[in-house]
A = this chain, B = another copy of it.
Amino acid sequence: EIADAAEALLGAGGVKVGGALRGRHVLVTSGPTHEPIDPVRYIANRSSGKQGHAIAAAAAAAGARVTLVSGPVNLPDPAGIAVHHVETARDMLAAVEAALPADAAVFAAAVADWRVAAEAGQKLKKDGNALAPLALTENPDILAGIARRAEGRPRLVVGFAAETQNVVAHAQAKLARKGCDWIVANDVSRDGGHQSGIPGGVMGADSNAVHLVSAAGVEHWPTASKAEIAQRLVARIAVALGPQESQS
């Protein structure tokens, strides 16, 4: 079935996906967003962008036309991929909408749920009222917004979930709430991460242990490099999209 077909595409070496996405447009988001507090301060998520960039690279290697929308990361732009650099969640949404239509969209970015309600034009000073609590407002929900589009929805919409507890249950709830097709869930707790004691465990690391959550059930993928996770996901995307249309 689907997993077997993807395994066949992957091959024993885990890399034989060449051409499986030829003729497809795959949209990938990656990295964190930065939400300004004032000209010198911002709220950020921990996200290196390594997983999202690896997915973009794997999709390109599989023959797809890839659009990568990336928050601030310290990674080179993958070769041969159109990269749109953004800072805030609102910028990211605009770049994503501008990139549609797409056959598949993989939202691997760690988008800030909230931004500061009123960004200060000048640097906030300690004196006076600057210690007032920081009022927050909800950011646009890029994943749900795209997954629930009446028109122009990518055929396959994949979200990511970074959780510190009840990882699979939260991912299943997120799948239903967002209206997407798959959730790739990681445990980013100190314990769930298998790396040394840095906060956020998997964040910034080169390997990852994930669960693929869909309406069909939950698959627990073996711990693997982010490049291997990307190849596995891309193989699954190729199977889900089916044989490409004839190019003639």
When the two chains form their complex, are residues A40 and B46 in contact, meaning their CB atoms are under 8 A apart? Answer: yes
Check if A134 sits within 8 Å of B131, measured CB to CB: no
Closest to A190 in B: B39
Contact B112 A41 (CB under 8 A): yes
* Chain copies in the assembled complex: 2
B37 contacts A188, C-beta separation under 8 Å: no
Q: Are the C-beta atoms of A165 and B110 separated by less than 8 Å?
A: no
Closest CB in chain B relative to A124 CB, distance in Å: 8
Residue A123 CB within 8 A of the other chain? yes
- Asked if B40 and A200 make an inter-chain contact with CB atoms under 8 angstroms apart, the answer reads yes
Q: A113 in the interface, Cβ–Cβ < 8 Å?
A: yes
A43 within 8 A of B: yes
Mark contacts of A190-218 with chain B using CB atoms, 8 A cut-off: 1 yes-contact digit, 0 otherwise.
10000000011001000000000000000
Q: Which of B113, B135, B199 contacts A36 (CB 8 A)?
A: B199
A44 lies within 8 A of chain B by Cβ: yes
A122 within 8 A of B: yes
Does residue A133 face the partner (Cβ distance < 8 Å to B)? Answer: yes
A126 within 8 Å of B by Cβ? yes
> Among B36, B46, B114, B188, which residue has its beta carbon within 8 angstroms of that of A131?
B114
Residues of A within 8 A of B (CB): 34, 36-37, 39-46, 74, 87, 110, 112-114, 122-124, 126, 130-131, 133-138, 162-165, 188-190, 199-200, 203
